[in-house]
């Protein structure tokens, strides 16, 4: 354990430094940088670690873990924080460090070699579905997707249109983190779309090493950030694989060890995301009460949602149109409500929420590629959703009777026009 602890700690901090460069911390109460610097100061003074120094290394590692736990509440969604937490777990395993023990003075005991973790060569460990053969019921799968301007379908089949400009966590559980960055589509517009996506697959037993996948606008790689296409050097490394379906446009990631499939596409200039995941994995969170920013699970915050129903008042329509109408920025192509409807019907014949999203995006952006974004999002739903009766979602309204179809359609069109005006302002 001599030089190994020092060298792997150095390697861990090189990786963490890379995360800090990619995701520079904004002014926030998250104190992960303080935790990092304290651990570095405690471990960088001994270039050669003997037994006693190795025990001190474990003590410093436990202190580091304790520091990250203290700041966990304020660091939700911070990728530097999550990278540190999972790096700590890896170092604990590599150097036989017990999670229970002193965080100030070293405990004088020697760990026998090979006693740190149980190993198993059973293939079922790295194949989620096979592990369920022993159970009475098969796993239940759920779906989440993000596309367009942007539109979110949560794991519970709630459909939302959100503003969410900047970086937001889509998934944050014990197995992986997914973060997206949304930027304005047009200068001065509130309409946004996804231009960056980061996925962190956490190290898992004998199956996979920690892997990072990152896509950006005009760059959809068919490999992880380290150049590999699988889960690393562990026994079950092939339980995590990337497959390129269409060069530069469509990749698929299979994470069989957690029964998860992820689809990432670039449509036009922007990215779309879709995932199929077992409910057990979806809900594998350390502190469910603090998962408010886990968008795929909880949805967008109320103040970030665009609700068509709140814009159905004719009085609000008159006031909003008078106030905002003259200052609309130019768009690449001008669509009326009728021409947007006609364009979206070419790809989406059923007037569900995917169709409505297509119309909304054409009116807010004028970019015909958003038609394809809605189309491919629905194609991914057909492939990934486990309940074929829930593929189409329709707007939820109150007191809508059979005789109110025409009126409700007009009301939706009026509300959509108001939302478009709000987004373009």
Tell me what pLDDT residue 27 has.
42
Tell me what pLDDT residue 400 has.
34
pLDDT tens digits for range 128-166: 887 765 555 778 999 999 999 899 999 999 999 998 889
Tell me what pLDDT residue 57 has.
84
pLDDT tens digits for range 179-206: 999 999 887 777 899 999 999 999 988 8
Map tokens 């150097």 to a residue.
95
Q: In what order do the strands lie in the sheet with 270-278?
A: 240-246, 250-255, 260-267, 270-278, 141-147, 151-153, 159-162, 305-306
Q: Which segments of the chain have a pLDDT < 50? A: 1-6, 10, 17, 20-22, 24-27, 47, 105-122, 309-331, 396-422, 424-425
C-alpha distances out from residue 59 to 91, 113, 162, 203, 363, Å: 12, 18, 45, 22, 59
Nearest by Cα to 299 from 185, 152, 165: 152
Contacts of 216 (CB under 8 A, 6+ apart): 195, 196, 197
pLDDT tens digits for range 359-403: 999 988 889 999 999 999 999 999 999 898 899 998 743 333 333
Nearest by Cα to 413 from 325, 321, 315, 312: 312
The CA distance from 351 to 134, in Å, is 43
Query: By three-state DSSP, how is residue 305 classified?
Result: strand
Tell me what pLDDT residue 405 has.
36
Cα–chain center distance at 385: 18
What is the DSSP code (8-state) at residue 138?
Answer: P
Give the Cβ contact number of residue 102 at 10 Å.
Answer: 12
Give the Cβ contact number of residue 226 at 10 Å.
Answer: 11
Tell me what pLDDT residue 84 has.
85
Query: By three-state DSSP, how is residue 198 classified?
Result: strand
C-alpha dihedral sign at 284, 264, 227, 246: positive
Retrieve residue 133's tokens.
Answer: 């053969």
Q: CB-based burial of residue 336 (10 Å sphere; 0-12 exposed, 13-18 middle, 19+ buried)?
A: exposed
The CA distance from 337 to 399, in Å, is 25
């Amino acid at each position: 354990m001599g030089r190994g602890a020092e060298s792997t700690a150095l390697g861990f901090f090189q990786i963490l430094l890379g995360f800090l460069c990619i995701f520079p911390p904004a002014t926030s109460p998250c104190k992960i940088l303080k935790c990092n610097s304290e651990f570095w100061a405690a471990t960088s003074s001994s270039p050669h670690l003997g037994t006693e120094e190795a025990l001190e290394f474990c003590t410093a590692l436990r202190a580091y873990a304790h520091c990250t736990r203290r700041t966990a509440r304020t660091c939700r969604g911070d990728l530097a924080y999550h990278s540190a937490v999972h790096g700590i777990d890896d170092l604990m395993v590599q150097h036989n460090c017990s999670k229970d023990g002193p965080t100030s003075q070293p405990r004088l005991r020697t760990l026998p070699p090979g006693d740190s973790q149980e190993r198993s060569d059973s293939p079922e460990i790295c194949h989620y579905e096979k592990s369920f053969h022993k159970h009475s019921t098969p796993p239940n799968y759920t779906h989440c997707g993000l596309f367009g301007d942007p539109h979110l379908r949560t794991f519970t089949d709630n459909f939302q249109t959100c503003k969410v400009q900047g970086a937001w966590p889509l998934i944050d559980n014990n197995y992986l983190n997914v973060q997206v960055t949304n930027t304005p589509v047009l200068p001065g517009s509130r309409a946004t779309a996804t231009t960056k996506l980061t996925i962190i697959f956490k190290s898992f037993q004998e199956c996979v090493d920690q892997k990072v996948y990152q896509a950006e606008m005009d760059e959809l790689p068919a490999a992880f950030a380290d150049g590999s296409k699988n889960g690393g050097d562990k026994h079950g490394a092939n339980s995590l694989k990337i497959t390129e379906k269409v060069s530069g446009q469509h990749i698929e990631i299979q994470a069989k060890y957690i029964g998860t499939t992820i689809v990432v596409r670039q449509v036009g200039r922007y990215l779309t995301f879709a995932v199929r995941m077992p409910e057990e994995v979806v809900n594998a969170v350390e502190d469910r009460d603090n998962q408010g920013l886990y968008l795929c699970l909880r949805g967008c915050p109320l103040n970030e949602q665009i609700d068509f129903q709140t814009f159905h008042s004719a009085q609000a329509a008159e006031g909003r149109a008078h106030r905002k109408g003259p200052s609309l920025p130019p768009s690449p192509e001008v669509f009326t409500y009728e021409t947007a409807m006609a364009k979206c019907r070419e790809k989406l014949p059923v007037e569900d929420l995917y169709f409505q999203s297509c119309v909304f995006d054409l009116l807010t952006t004028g970019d015909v590629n958003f038609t394809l974004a809605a189309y491919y999002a629905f194609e991914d739903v057909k492939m990934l959703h486990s309940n074929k009766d829930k593929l189409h979602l329709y707007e939820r309204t109150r007191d809508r009777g059979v005789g109110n179809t025409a009126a409700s359609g007009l009301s939706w069109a009026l509300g959509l026009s108001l939302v478009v005006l709000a987004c373009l302002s």
